[in-house]
Every structure is written in C-alpha cells, then in structure tokens.
Homo-oligomer: A and B are copies of this chain.
Amino acid sequence: MSSEPKNAAEIDVENGLAGIRGFEYSGVSAGLKASGGKDVALVRNVGPEFTAAAVFTTNRFAAAPVEWSREVVRDGRVDVVVLNSGGANACTGTEGFRNTHRTAEEVASLTDAAAGDVLVCSTGLIGEQLPMDLLLPGLRDAAGSLGEGPEHDDAAASAIMTTDTVSKKASVTLQTEQGPVRIGGIAKGAGMLAPGLATMLVVLATDASMSADNLDAALRSATERSFDRADSDGCMSTNDTVALLASGASGAVPEQEEFTDALTRVCVSLALQLIGDAEGASHDIHVTTAGAASEAQALEVSRAVARSNLFKCAIFGNDPNWGRILSEVGTTSVDFDSSDVNVSINGVMVCRGGAIGEDRSLVDLAADRTVDVVIDLGAGSESGTIWTNDLTHDYVEENSAYSS
C-alpha cells in the first residue's frame, strides 16, 4: 500500500475488538443457523464518548436493517451494534422493517440505550422473515454475555459468520502524544464480495477521542482503499455495513492523517482476509495496473480483469492464459495504445508490446496461493490494485446449494 507508513506497527490478526478500551461484546447461539452455531452478536460502547460513523451498500434494494441503521448513524452517535447471521432481512417489506425496529427496541432496553442509537446488521438468505421467536431470546442472552477480552472477541467474530470458514479480526496500536490508541475490528463475508462494498459486515472500534465528522472522513477514506478494492465475484449485496465506533476511553486525540492511515491498514488486513476466505477460492489474485494515466483508470482496468470468469477459471487451472487478460483490458475505454501494453504473471512478462512475450510455461501458478498479475499500460505513471480470487468448482457448489 502506498499509504502505509514506513515504521507502522504490526497488524495484529489475533485480536479484533479485544484490547480496545471502552467496549463490551458478545456472541451467542439463538438457533437462527441450522448448524446451531453462534448467530447473534452485540458490540457495546461504554464510553465515555459515543461518536460513530458508518458506510452502507449502495444497492437500491437495501435491507431493512440498512434502512434503519442509516437513520441511526445520521446524528453521529451509536451506543450498540447488534448483528445476526442466519437471515438477511432483505426484501421483506414492512414486516421486515418492523422486525428490525423491534430488535433495536429490545437491545435498547437490555443495554440502557435509546433505540435510535442501536445499529442493526443482518446477513444470510434474502427474502425470508427473521424468526423473531428465536432472535428475541437470543438478544437477551447476548446482552447477558457482554464482556471484554479475547474470548468475547472470538464469540462476536464467530457469530457474524455465514459461509466464512474462519473469523476475521485485525487491530493495530497507534502511538500518540497522549499515549497509545487502539483501532481494530471484526468482519464477515465470503461471497457476494464487490465494490460499493460486499456482503460484508464489519464493526470497527477505537478508544481514540474523535468527532463523528472525523470518524466519517477517516472511514470513507479507509473503505475506499480497502473493501472497495476487494472484488470476489462482482456481486453487490443488499446488507453491507461497515461501522466505526469511538469510545474516547484512551483520552488521546490522534492526528487525523495518522488515524486514517492506521484505520486503513486495519481495513486492508480485513479485506485481504475476506478475499483469502472467499467461497471455494484456491488462489488469491492481486491484479495491479501500472503505467496508467490516472489511478481511476488503473482501477477500472484491474476491476475488468478481476471480473472475468474466463480469466478466473484459467487461474484455478493454474493456466497463465494471458489472452484472457488482454481481451478484458481491450473492453475498457482508458488511455493506452495496444502495442504498448505489457503483462506479467508472477514476474514473467508473458505479453510484451501487446503481443507474445516470454514463454507462458515459465509461469508457475501451482507453487503459491497468491497470484500477482501486473498490467503495464505504458500510458502514464499511476497504478492501482484490485484483489480477487479464482473461480472454482467449490464456488459453484457452495452457491448452487446455499439456500436449500
């Protein structure tokens, strides 16, 4: 990442919320998941400050919890985030919205908050009503289980998983003049990952003291450089939510730019964990476009390649089929001359000047899970990377059987 400071502290992927002062969290099983696994999580800010920001899916069929939460965060204050897996509560009409409202009211009464300060997130199948007879007792159980530390962190991170095979956590310590600040969070999402966010729920927290406006600016910058660049299958969800809550419990007020950088690093780690656990994937693919006239053009080219099913099947087959890269580049309208374009796969320049380069058999795709594709347009000095994954039998299997 170009935005990564040289001496940045290491990202901690063992702890998400654990270690961030001023927060309690929990994860319990309410019976929403057929598997019996944990499916309800709470993240509670205990202050002394309660500032917050959030970004949401741009899908016009936004789920009921997204409609609700957009209003909640408008005043820059969130006290509690309640999350459930086992049902998206999307395309569920007025009954769905009533269920979200009731969920917020119940959580508010359990945590001494106002319902208007309770953010609600749901994930799972679209087009089914939530079983409120199971969810409401689950909320009481989750409120009774609130606490801090690694065990509670693990429980919350597990409770938001759907087809994820592992939970996702990341955090980092930022040194300030008033002492250390901690920033971290938990994430879920393994399919339907696309820009404008993904089927992705992310709860980020910090013990820094930050105004809601500064949180909002930092969050928008961080998501643009992280989750928005992860594109697993080009599909946009109805439920995506990334929330950021600040407790001020550290008493420290970080510089805006340093805070944004640290937050971005946490978000990049979570985004790469999401891609690394994408449904059925056997390769993580980093598609970098360099030599572009602008960063936006670089990202447009990288995204076009990252969305090619033919390219993604070839990578699954460990086949460095660069023709499928060029044919996607050729569908874009960005600045380049076709005879200037070079393509390297894992360091081997298989295409030079828009034509045949090194022997494709020199590329070894079987050795490593990560595949590096670099497209040099020869049209400028800007670059940008999109992270994606291959298209596999397991993706087809998981997504042909998900709702049944």
Beta-carbon contacts of A305-334 to B below 8 Å, as 1s and 0s?
A: 001111001101101011110111111100
Quick one: which of B233, B236, B307, B326 contacts A61, CB cutoff 8 A?
B326
A175 to chain B, nearest CB (A): 41
A128 touches B (CB below 8 Å): yes
**A331: B residues at CB distance < 8 A:** 58-60, 196, 236
A13, CB-defined interface residue at 8 Å:
no
Q: Which residues of B contact A328 (CB under 8 A)?
A: 235-236
User: When A314-B400, A399-B314 are in contact, do A309 and B235 touch as well, CB less than 8 Å?
Assistant: yes
Q: Which chain A residues in 73-103 approach chain B with CB under 8 Å?
A: 88, 90-94, 96
Q: Does A355 contact B (CB under 8 A)?
A: yes
In contact, A319 and B91 (Cβ under 8 angstroms):
no
Nearest opposing residue in chain B for A336, CB measure: B60
Given contacts A235-B328, A309-B234, A317-B400, contact A356 B127 (CB under 8 A): yes
Give a binary string over A112-152; 1 marks a CB under 8 Å from any B CB, 0 the rest.
00000000000001111100000000000000000000000
CB–CB B235/A310 < 8 A: yes
Contacts of A126 in B (CB 8 A): 321-324, 326-327
Which residue of the partner chain, among B125, B127, B338, B393, contacts A397 with CB atoms under 8 Å?
A: B393
Please state if A96 and B396 are interface contacts (CB–CB under 8 Å): no
> Is A396 touching B235 in the complex (CB atoms < 8 A)?
no
Q: Which of B127, B314, B402 contacts A351 (CB under 8 A)?
A: B127
Interface positions, chain A 368-404, Cβ under 8 Å from B, are: 391-393, 395-404
Q: Is the beta-carbon distance between B309 and A233 smaller than 8 angstroms? A: yes
Find chain B residues with CB under 8 A from A129 CB: 356
Please give me the residue from chain B that is nearest to A94 by CB atom: B355
Q: Is A353 among interface residues, defined by CB-CB distance under 8 A?
A: yes
Kindly identify, within residues 339 to 384 of chain A, every residue whose CB is under 8 Å from any CB belonging to chain B: 339, 350-351, 353-356, 360
CB distance from A396 to the nearest CB of B (A): 5
Query: Are A399 and B235 in contact (CB-based, < 8 A)?
Result: no
| A91→B396 contact, CB < 8 A | no
Given A235-B328, A354-B61: A396 in contact with B399 (beta carbons within 8 A) = no
Beyond A91-B356, A237-B327, 13 additional contacts (C-beta under 8 Å) are A60-B330, A60-B331, A90-B323, A91-B322, A91-B326, A93-B354, A93-B356, A234-B309, A235-B328, A313-B398, A319-B400, A319-B403, A396-B396
User: Top 8 A-B pairs ranked by shortest CB distance?
Assistant: A126-B323, A317-B400, A93-B355, A313-B399, A61-B330, A59-B330, A60-B330, A127-B323
Measured CB to CB, the residues of A under 8 A from B are: 58-62, 88, 90-94, 96, 125-129, 191-192, 196, 233-238, 307-310, 313-314, 316-317, 319, 321-324, 326-332, 336, 338-339, 350-351, 353-356, 360, 391-393, 395-404
20 contacting pairs across A/B (C-beta < 8 A): A58-B331, A60-B329, A61-B326, A61-B354, A91-B355, A92-B356, A93-B353, A96-B355, A191-B310, A196-B331, A235-B308, A236-B327, A238-B330, A309-B391, A313-B398, A313-B399, A314-B399, A314-B400, A319-B403, A396-B396
